[in-house]
Amino acid sequence: MQMRTVAERAGVALGTLYRYFPSKMDLVVAVVGEEIDLLESSIERRPPHAAHPAGRAVDVLMRATRGLMREPELADALIRSLIMAEVEAPFGDRMASLLLRVATDGRTVNLPAEDQLALTGSLAGVWVQELLEMLRGRRTYEQIQHRIEIAAERLLAGF
pLDDT digits (tens, 9 = 90+) for 5-16: 889 988 999 999
What CA–CA distances, in Å, run from 43 to 49, 53, 60, 118, 134?
10, 14, 7, 22, 23
Q: Per-residue pLDDT averaged across 69-77, rounded?
A: 83
**28-52 pLDDT tens trace:** 788 888 888 999 999 999 999 999 9
Is residue 58 within 8 Å of residue 149, measured between CB atoms? Answer: yes
Is residue 17 within 8 Å of residue 3, measured between CB atoms? Answer: yes
Question: Is CATH 2.60.120.10 the classification given to domain 23-155?
Answer: no
Check residues 79 and 105 and name the one with the higher pLDDT.
105
Question: Coil, strand, or helix at residue 17?
Answer: helix
Q: Per-residue pLDDT averaged across 65-82, rounded?
A: 82
| C-alpha of 55 from chain center | 16
